[in-house]
Amino acid sequence: MNENKLTRLAIFSRLFIIFLQFLSNLIIPDHDARVFQYLRSPQHNETYVFLSVNYILKGFIRWDAEYFMHIAKYGYTYENTLAFFPLYPYLSRTIVNICELLFYGATIDTSLIITFTLLNIMFLCLSVKLLYKLTKVYFNEDIAYKTTILFIFNPASIFFSAPYSESFFCYLTLETIYRCTILLQKYSKSNSNFHYNDTSALFFISLSTIVRSNGLLNIGFLIYTITCIFLTYFPKNSVNRFMYILKFICIFSISILVCVLPFALYQIYCFQKFCRDFELDLPEEIILYASENNLVLPGQFKIFNQTWCYSKIPLAYSYVQDHYWNVGFLQYYQLKQIPNFLLAFPSLYIVIHNSIRHIKINISNFSNLFNLKEVDVNNRTNCANRFFNFSLNVFVIHALFLSVFCLLFIHVQVFTRMICSASPLFYWYCAFYWINGRKRFIKLFFDCYFFIGTVMFCNFLPWT
């Protein structure tokens, strides 16, 4: 009953955001941000209905959404687009191609923005159900309900609605976590025989690594789960140890390989596309835009001679982030970036402050980090400390890593949307504040980012 109610609320929240961005975009003139913008198609042959839909939704195509629209429409035609992973835009383009008849009379631009919007709503609804189920495993129904409401109206809601990969990535991450949690529950009760169903998380982790770069961190949840099972049931009989260790190494190695393979294949694709010379077959407007904006085209290695192509492990992603967005160790620590640090502060404070509190409460028991009996979700502490239960260790480590990495290496304001799409712990801590008399603080934080973020984003104001 609650799941259906929450799903309806999630759909309503997206309809409200669509209305809010349309109204804001209508009233407030767009800021000239002087950033990358994909090439729009002429709309003179578009039907009135699709023309209207495009007009209503066009406020979503801002900042990184421009890149996703470009990739879905043209593919990887510029080197700077390589920072945006392929599964999300290519899935949208595939759906548009399959449903061509449904989009009869629409330009490719309108077809894509409709598809992106509907996909985001679908993945949000799926994430709502997963987060509710996952939270019930660790807490109770009341906390699960409050947590999911917070998720629906989270501070990064505009990024869960616009053509960004947050909604899709969030769904894949929650699927991964939920399946790993069920696996921990299963083996905490008995040493069951390993079944192929136990590897189902691999599929979702693999997909997440070609949706966002931090999908690689999702491998950690599976590694932790496998390690817990292995160490808890390590045989006392030395005769059986060799085969047991061999089985563990095989499962561990194959799991890592399967998870990393899609990411590796994408990097190989990037290398083949931009580190070789071949004849260009691109629309004239794409080549002209590259010339006007000094963008690197594929198949032109002799001309551009990119340095990352000479690396022992040529990773396009890290090079593009550094070269085009100045992403690197402490490179964001400038006086002019203080507003962006303030923008990220509430989310960073919630995660870091409560994670440190969790570590202080559980530090004496950390030697049992991989003991299934200790991390069993049913082994709960008293009501006051349920949000700092020892079983949440893996989430704390994951969230703290993201926090420190964002603080030191990337554009810090990205942390809010990153943590909102990557960790249920953020919502659990917010629910903890809600239940313990800090609801006004949480409501103010969420409402401000929900409303102000939507208004600023859709007018190309600094909200990225």
Report the alpha-carbon distance of residue 108 to residue 166 in Å, rounded.
Answer: 22
The label of the residue with tokens 């973020």 reads 453
Mean pLDDT confidence for 287-309: 94
b/e map of 67-89 (b: 16 or more CB within 10 Å)? bbbbbbbbbbbbbbbbbbbbbbb
The H-assigned helical ranges of 305-409 are: 316-325, 338-362, 372-375, 393-409
pLDDT band at residue 383 under the 50/70/90 scheme: very low
Q: What is the pLDDT of residue 378?
A: 66
pLDDT digits (tens, 9 = 90+) for 158-197: 999 999 999 999 999 999 999 999 988 888 877 666 665 6
Q: If we measure between CA atoms, which residue out of 416, 403, 395 comes closest to residue 135?
A: 395
- Mean pLDDT of the residues in the chain: 92
- pLDDT of res. 382: 43
Higher pLDDT, 205 or 190: 205
pLDDT digits (tens, 9 = 90+) for 45-59: 899 999 999 999 999
Domain assignments of the chain as residue spans, ordered by start: 2-269+331-457
CA 286, CA 52: separation in Å to the nearest integer? 27
pLDDT, greater one: 15 or 386: 15
- Positive or negative torsion for Cα 253, 256, 262, 267: negative
381 in the Ramachandran plot: left (φ > 0), alpha (ψ -120 to 50) or beta?
beta
- Assess whether pLDDT exceeds 90 at residue 300: yes
Chain-centre distance for alpha carbon 252: 24
10 Å CB burial of residue 321 (0-12, 13-18, 19+) is buried
CA distance 412 to 85: 20
**Mean pLDDT throughout 200-204?**
93
Q: Are 255 and 222 spatial neighbours (Cβ–Cβ below 8 Å)?
A: yes
Q: What is the pLDDT of residue 385?
A: 72
Check residue 135 and give its pLDDT.
Answer: 96
Structure confidence by residue, pLDDT tens digits, 64-105:
999 999 999 999 999 999 999 999 999 999 999 999 999 999
| b (16+ CB within 10 A) / e for 42-60 | eeeebeeebbebbebbbbb
Does the reported pTM lie above 0.75? yes
Tens digit of each residue's pLDDT (9 = 90 or more) over 396-411: 999 999 999 999 999 9
Query: 400-442 pLDDT, tens per residue?
Result: 999 999 999 999 999 999 999 999 999 999 999 999 989 999 9
Q: Are 461 and 31 in contact (CB under 8 A)?
A: yes
For residue 90, the model assigns a pLDDT of 98
Q: What is the pLDDT, as a whole number, of residue 163?
A: 98
Q: pLDDT digit string (tens) for 241-278?
A: 888 888 888 888 999 999 999 999 999 999 999 999 99
Written as six digits, the tokens of 249 are 């190494």
Q: How far is CA 46 from CA 55, 74, 297, 373, in A?
A: 12, 20, 30, 62
